[in-house]
Chains A and B, each alone.
Chain A
């Protein structure tokens, strides 16, 4: 599974994003603990923040020892390394300060028996500052090894590859896709680690709030798998057309195959987690079997995502390679799927499934949103809430069939003007629908009552987002 680091550079790559993306997710749990006033969750969050502070030591040491191997690479300048070092040292010092504050409050609350609101808010505020500094540190770090981020769109030679696109030959795929992929891929990966940690803690401590928050994060990780996969497919084109030195198509295909399994794993984990969140509303308690199913899916997906990340790192980090790169680009599943799906016998049936899927999604969303807006007030909100799994099934159908259609002609889709907004709307719409299952005030809306104002705003965003997804898809050939 390649999670045991084989060099200082490898260690640095494995752990350095925890105080950035990991901290972001921990702050989500931390905010939940303050809002719900859940002491168990507060304790776990403070402990995790201390842990992140302790992690700053191996991050710093591994970073120092990574300088020599990475400097040997062409294009890596002293300025790039110094910029990353300066931001990182500042960010790590603030992180250590936050960890001290969190640790002090943890021990004080343990002694006194209650938390101080001021101390909790101080830790939150300092953590947000740390997050901003970590963003600068992360960006400057990526620029050291990812030279392609500095390239503008490069005119590509006529590649000779089959394409149904109307885009003229000679137009390359923007490097912005590589940039997005480098950022996004850390969210489902680190999110899954954090979610699993809190989920296991929630199971052990029998803390329903912690379990619920973890299920929300599992669902979000599932949703984020979609743009991560799409930006990955786009990055492939950005890095290989025109071909770049030291970028191997075979290594990319090895990474793509694993990414496909990871997408399925994230979908399984996310859907199971959401269905349990949905069912919790009606039953008032979790099902032990369902929770253990989510745990099993999560652990399997963690293994898949770790291997995916390792293979991804091999593509553009020569300093961590310890074995030769694969050489046969055709020896993988993804090119075979690309070839097969271009046959109309495969493409049309899956495209039809895609159409059924968005009918299910939009029909469900429309019905729920109209109730929130005030139509059919004779129904309590809990009645329309029962429709939501139908929409989730539609999303699963469309992610699967959409992924197949993307593989049929990736270049065309990723260079279309309406496809990127469609991907962004899927994330917004998917996350917004979570609100309908989480909001207590909306759940309490009985027959004859108006939904709360906040719910109406979320409903509006949801409706616009999913309408945007449909329009974005339909307009691909025309815009």
Chain B
């Protein structure tokens, strides 16, 4: 849990820094990477949850 909180804080700081100093490339790169990787993790979670169910049934 603590790892997620620390990671979240670091990412938020990077985003704020990017906006504050006008490094919009940094800002949008982090946003896009977060969105895409979250999508990948979500899809993998859904797929593997179904497989786990069939393994235990």
A275 to B47 alpha-carbon distance, docked (Å) = 9
- B36 near A356 with CB under 8 A, answer yes
- A352 near B29 with CB under 8 A, answer yes
A283 to B54 alpha-carbon distance, docked (Å) = 6
Size class of the contact patch on chain B: 10 to 19
B32-57 interface bits toward A, Cβ cutoff 8 Å, 1 = contact, 0 = none: 11001101100110011011001100
Known contacts being A283-B54, A345-B25, is A389 close to B36, with CB within 8 Å?
A: no
B40's contact among A275, A279, A283, A360, by CB below 8 Å, is which?
A: A360
A157 to B35 alpha-carbon distance, docked (Å) = 44
A386 to B46 alpha-carbon distance, docked (Å) = 12
Residue ID in chain B nearest A397 by CB atoms: B36
Kindly identify, within residues 4 to 39 of chain B, every residue whose CB is under 8 Å from any CB belonging to chain A.
Answer: 24-25, 28-29, 31-33, 36-37, 39
Chain B contacts for A386, CB-based, 8 A: 48, 51
B33's contact among A278, A352, A389, by CB below 8 Å, is which?
A: A352
Known contacts being A349-B32, A350-B32, is A390 close to B44, with CB within 8 Å?
A: yes
Kindly identify, within residues 29 to 87 of chain A, every residue whose CB is under 8 Å from any CB belonging to chain B.
Answer: none
- Closest Cβ of chain A: how far from B16's Cβ, in Å? 17
- B37 near A389 with CB under 8 A, answer no
A282's contact among B40, B43, B55, by CB below 8 Å, is which?
A: B55
Chain A contacts for B24, CB-based, 8 A: 345
- Closest Cβ of chain A: how far from B23's Cβ, in Å? 10
A393's contact among B32, B40, B48, B55, by CB below 8 Å, is which?
A: B40
Residue ID in chain B nearest A347 by CB atoms: B25
B29's contact among A279, A282, A349, A360, by CB below 8 Å, is which?
A: A349
- Closest Cβ of chain A: how far from B29's Cβ, in Å? 4
- A279 near B47 with CB under 8 A, answer yes
A397 to B35 alpha-carbon distance, docked (Å) = 12
- Closest Cβ of chain B: how far from A347's Cβ, in Å? 9
- B33 near A282 with CB under 8 A, answer no
**7 tightest A-B contacts by CB?**
A349-B32, A349-B29, A393-B40, A282-B51, A349-B28, A352-B29, A348-B25
Interface residues of B (CB under 8 A from A): 24-25, 28-29, 31-33, 36-37, 39-40, 43-44, 47-48, 50-51, 54-55
New A-B contacts (9) at CB < 8 Å, excluding given A349-B32, A353-B36, A393-B44: A279-B47, A282-B54, A349-B33, A350-B32, A352-B32, A360-B40, A389-B44, A390-B44, A397-B40
Interface residues of A (CB under 8 A from B): 275, 278-279, 282-283, 344-345, 348-350, 352-353, 356, 360, 386, 389-390, 393, 397
